[in-house]
Amino acid sequence: MRFSVNIPNFGDFADPRKVATVAAAAEEAGWDGLFVWDHVLHRQHQGRPFGDPWMLLTAAALATSRIRLGTLLTPVPRYRPQQLARQVATLDQLSGGRVIFAAGLGGPVEDEYRSFGDTAEPRVLAERLDEGLELLPRFWSGEPVNHRGRHYEVRDVRLLPATVQRPGPPVWIGGFWPRRAPMRRAARWDGAVPLFETARHGHVPDVSDVRELAAYVRRHRTAGAERPFELVLGGATPSDAAKARDVTGPLYDAGATWWDERQIQTGPGLDRLPAVLRRIEAGPPVV
């Protein structure tokens, strides 16, 4: 099992210098990854400063040499695919091939889409997500792309540089379990990052739910099944190593391959640097 630190892109972490501090501390303490949120607007946290996640991750890349970096998660339908492809490829080049790309619809959809005059219709957003996901690896390849779809058109475009990772960064897909459609989408890619109806962000999922989800994804793995597939869970663990292993050990046995530490993200201090650093410095809950 591998272990990551998860931080929002607002509050203290709107400042790239503080994100660089978090990244360096995580690498020093033995964590395997750093993931940031990708919100442009979240009215629950309105009044706080927000930072662009790709700028924040650029600072993290410059401060580290080993840990994996990415968003959890990027709302692909909110972006133009060519813009997003270039941002990810640039970060992958800068970091020496350390990017993981996590994707979904994002939310709250009313905040992130309708506030800016965009549709919040789930069916349309899902279509844009799937079509965008089809385009991104083609852009990352550095080869010419021609595409005419329901939502996007590309005419003989070649985007360089290509990503360091070939055929591209691992693609993880988020969604709520037990909703089946997002996990069928995840099964076509490289990983699943589920939230659970019974365990929202920051809360540890039930082991039986994890086993059910893992079995469901395995049944739907088809194309690309020879590539490693990650099941990424998250929540809060105690700083005490033995107690933390009591949380993550059963989830590892149930099929989880990554634990994403969301230590303080259910309380008022979720966007404050000191509390995050304390948990990072205590080290990951290694199984």
Report pLDDT for 199.
Answer: 83
172-201 per-residue burial string, b: 16 or more CB within 10 A, e: under 16? bbbbebeeeebbbbbbbbbbbbbbbeebee
Report pLDDT for 267.
Answer: 54
Q: How many CB atoms lie within 10 A of CB 281?
A: 12
In three-state secondary structure terms, 10 is strand
Contact 150, 180 (CB under 8 A): no
pTM: 0.96
What does R_g of the chain's alpha carbons equal in angstroms? 18
Report pLDDT for 194.
Answer: 96
Q: How many CB atoms lie within 10 A of CB 223?
A: 9
Report pLDDT for 49.
Answer: 95
In the predicted model, residues of the chain with pLDDT beneath 50 are 266
Q: What does the DSSP assignment read for 118-182?
A: ----HHHHHHHHHHHHHHHHHHHTTS-EEEE-SS-EEEEE--SSPPSSSS-S-EEEEEEET-HHH
* The two structure tokens encoding residue 18: 């503080």
Please provide residue 193's backbone torsions phi and psi, each rounded to the nearest 5 degrees.
-125, 80
Report pLDDT for 177.
Answer: 96
Report pLDDT for 269.
Answer: 63
Rounded distance, CA 84 to CA 87, Å? 5
**What distance lies between CA 170 and its chain's CA centroid?**
11
The dihedral over CA atoms of 19, 174, 45, 23, expressed in degrees to the nearest 10, equals -10
Cis check for the bond before 159: say yes or no (omega within 30 of 0).
Answer: no
Rounded distance, CA 116 to CA 91, Å? 27
Evaluate the CA torsion angle 131, 137, 140, 142 in order and state its sign: negative
Report pLDDT for 286.
Answer: 85
The residues near 1 (Cβ < 8 Å, ≥ 6 apart) are 248, 252, 256, 257, 258, 259, 286, 287
* The two structure tokens encoding residue 221: 């793995």
What secondary structure letter does DSSP report for 226? Answer: T
